[in-house]
Structure 1
């Protein structure tokens, strides 16, 4: 009897929710790999940040649960007969999380902010298809009302384009097109001030299905269901806890212990065991990303295309994907995955160690002699380390080149490759379901051209692709651009991503999309 009395309080605690008639909160635990760099959609450049922001913010158009474009804040849209004007009708019930109405003017003000040069938004060029956007961003136009962004009515937004851009709706799903709350940003600091603290939990206001509840470095970032979201009646989760876990092994152990429902990745050595023993928990899905190594072409000897091509041609991508990454990745011999969005691309080069050695000798480094010791930079993660070590060994064996490996924590790494450019060769990744976005970033002076590479012929072809009257003609220009990339090799394509992930059977409705942009509002949890 004494033993029963001792356990009675615990039983009572466990039974309390049922006795009270209220179910336990539905809390989804998700691994995101790293602490987010920021939560300002106009500043961020990383995939982990974008995943989180899709819970907190919503754009005009979203990627729906079926992986296709779906209405977001815009309940409908129309394209003019000449393809030069898109008109969006916004939901009148849309609200910011502080209860303020969300209007077309908020979108126009958001676009003006990202195009303000002082903000230093690295993805501002994604708005250049709109009339006047580039001129305003570059200071050639000072009156924003003369751009193609207009709000003729409170819930009517109009975009006027420089030329038809069939890929624009896909662009609108990306973070830089999200609205930001200028009424909050202006209260906290200057709107064009990088690092404005409006994204702290105590200030943050969004318009998504969830609101920011807690965010501290090294701790889970917590979002809670928003009471002001227009579609709140369909949201099933009460909270999502995003866990910043850089070590994939630790993340996998937490999944096995039931402390994570969804991982960011899977350790390569664990993929085969999960395939055998827990196939229902393992998902390996297509992903619109390219894994690459980017050269700093501002620095010798990487200003010589022969050196860059030698390093690229020496790699054995089949071995890297089969024995190192092990996630079903596709070896990459082009910049854009063939078949992406219907793009009929094709390999533009092939592995050729003998040609690699010839190129290196022609550049003045026969057998690797006299080649300066170089550093290969990657952000801290087991899968990046393992791949870098395999590449290091391959170049030593095939080319006689010694490589030092350097890893940096996520935010330091982003600053190194995007701002200080204090690297020789660095790991890179680029994720999009649109071929144009893969290719436009290598134009001269583009903010995301980490290589610092420039080629006048490539720039002309990009302009011709944008002006192409048909998709087929645009794709022809893309293939010509890919040929130049293969000849110049400002970066080394390694493989086209898949996305290995562990998903608990308790998670309902979740799927991976090509941009990892699944709407969190559509996810549910089984008790």
Structure 2
């Protein structure tokens, strides 16, 4: 018989992950209902009173540009930056293998809607070759350097003084990220990416910022250059693409954070919303992905595995699904031991 078999749920909020993990290990909470960062796993795996669950997420963690202003209005600059980012390094070293690289804005587990014939910027290239490829993209678009990152003999050197096609020196810009005590993965990704860009002569710094202030700058003020954020629990039906990228959503607190405008995308997106035939709609949504990954207002980075933890010996009946054990089925099946 389907439950619930529990009287209720008490939610406890903690200011940091450290405090929440400590509460779990002491037994003052029964479940850690949030993604556990890889840095905690070693100790938790050795704890005999803790059980870990790992499940796929329907999530998008990404770099976003402010394409409302220069220099990010230039698609070639966005493509070059996408080429410089080593997503495999981020997954293997920062996520410690607990995630999947993303090459579309639709999560890789959403296989019916996912388009696979997309540009995979920089895939398979070592760092020197990524710099060479980015240099080629930018040079062909009219960018110059005081000291190019690739010299006359083809050797990669530290680039300096990148200039826009109009000859102006590119101003230093900022990548906003959540702070490490909120999400160390995004904070560390920002720090690593800034170093990759600097090697190509692109002036940039990463700036961790409280999540509330960060979202205020992006959603309300539109006062930013670039950012690293994430969306979790995305619906399987990717109609949310319209909210993220349609021109009409470029407004105060709208869904279009980057300020991306493309009439072709708007037309295809609206047609997809009005289409009943599943296969035709699938074709339209795959075309939407092609447009986005050509124009790259967002650079999809990774989707992390969702790792959750519970106290052993308290409850049985946890149900694993996409997006983890914190779901209605678990709370209907849980029984005190």
Q: Which category of TM-score, normalised to the shorter sequence, fits these structures?
A: 0.7 to 0.9
1:358, 1:499 → 2: CA distance? 38
Matched, 1:514 2:284: no
Matched, 1:252 2:21: yes
Match of 1:421 in 2: 222
Gaps of 5+ in 2: 123-129, 150-159, 163-168
8 Å CA contact retained: 1:332, 1:494: yes
2:195, 2:276 → 1: CA distance? 47
Question: Could you say if the C-alpha distance between residues 338 and 279 of structure 1 is closer, same or farther in structure 2, counting changes exceeding 3 Å?
Answer: farther
CA radius of gyration, larger in: 1
Gaps of 5+ in 1: 1-64, 66-232
Match of 1:442 in 2: 245
Match of 2:171 in 1: 372
Matched, 1:526 2:329: no
1:260, 1:396 → 2: CA distance? 44
2:333, 2:236 → 1: CA distance? 25
1:439, 1:312 → 2: CA distance? 20
Match of 1:494 in 2: 301
Question: Could you say if the C-alpha distance between residues 410 and 254 of structure 1 is closer, same or farther in structure 2, counting changes exceeding 3 Å?
Answer: same
Which structure 1 residue ranges, 4+ long, deviate > 6 Å from structure 2? none
1:443, 1:524 → 2: CA distance? 42
2:267, 2:41 → 1: CA distance? 44
Match of 2:156 in 1: none
Deviation (angstroms), 1:428: 1.9
Which residue, out of 347, 360, 368, partners 2:138?
360
Question: Could you say if the C-alpha distance between residues 465 and 262 of structure 1 is closer, same or farther in structure 2, counting changes exceeding 3 Å?
Answer: same
Match of 1:395 in 2: 197
Which residue, out of 326, 336, 350, partners 2:120?
350
Question: Could you say if the C-alpha distance between residues 279 and 454 of structure 1 is closer, same or farther in structure 2, counting changes exceeding 3 Å?
Answer: farther
Q: Secondary structure at 2:195's aligned position in 1? A: helix
Question: Could you say if the C-alpha distance between residues 342 and 405 of structure 1 is closer, same or farther in structure 2, counting changes exceeding 3 Å?
Answer: same
1:525, 1:409 → 2: CA distance? 38
Match of 1:234 in 2: 4
TM-score of the pair, normalised by structure 1: 0.51
- 1:452-494 CA-to-partner distances (Å, cap 9, x unmatched) read 1000111111122123342111111111111111110001100
1:279, 1:320 → 2: CA distance? 31
Match of 2:258 in 1: 451
Deviation (angstroms), 1:279: 10
2:12, 2:197 → 1: CA distance? 38
8 Å CA contact retained: 1:430, 1:438: no
Deviation (angstroms), 1:238: 3.3
Deviation (angstroms), 1:235: 5.4
8 Å CA contact retained: 2:306, 2:323: no
Match of 1:149 in 2: none
1:350, 1:278 → 2: CA distance? 42
Which residue, out of 274, 277, 280, partners 1:473?
280
8 Å CA contact retained: 1:237, 1:524: no
Deviation (angstroms), 1:293: 1.1
**RMSD between aligned alpha carbons?**
2.6
Question: Could you say if the C-alpha distance between residues 525 and 251 of structure 1 is closer, same or farther in structure 2, counting changes exceeding 3 Å?
Answer: farther
8 Å CA contact retained: 1:252, 1:267: no
1:325, 1:365 → 2: CA distance? 35
Matched, 1:261 2:30: yes
Which residue, out of 292, 299, 312, partners 2:82?
312
1:280, 1:236 → 2: CA distance? 20
Q: Secondary structure at 2:213's aligned position in 1? A: helix
- 1:312-347 CA-to-partner distances (Å, cap 9, x unmatched) read 111111110111022521101111124516325215
TM-score of the pair, normalised by structure 2: 0.78
Deviation (angstroms), 1:415: 1.7
Which one scores higher on RCO, CA 8 angstroms, separation ≥ 6? 2
8 Å CA contact retained: 2:64, 2:297: yes
Q: Secondary structure at 1:334's aligned position in 2? A: coil
Q: Secondary structure at 1:281's aligned position in 2? A: strand
Q: Secondary structure at 2:70's aligned position in 1? A: coil
- 1:388-410 CA-to-partner distances (Å, cap 9, x unmatched) read 2122222223x222322222223
2:29, 2:222 → 1: CA distance? 36
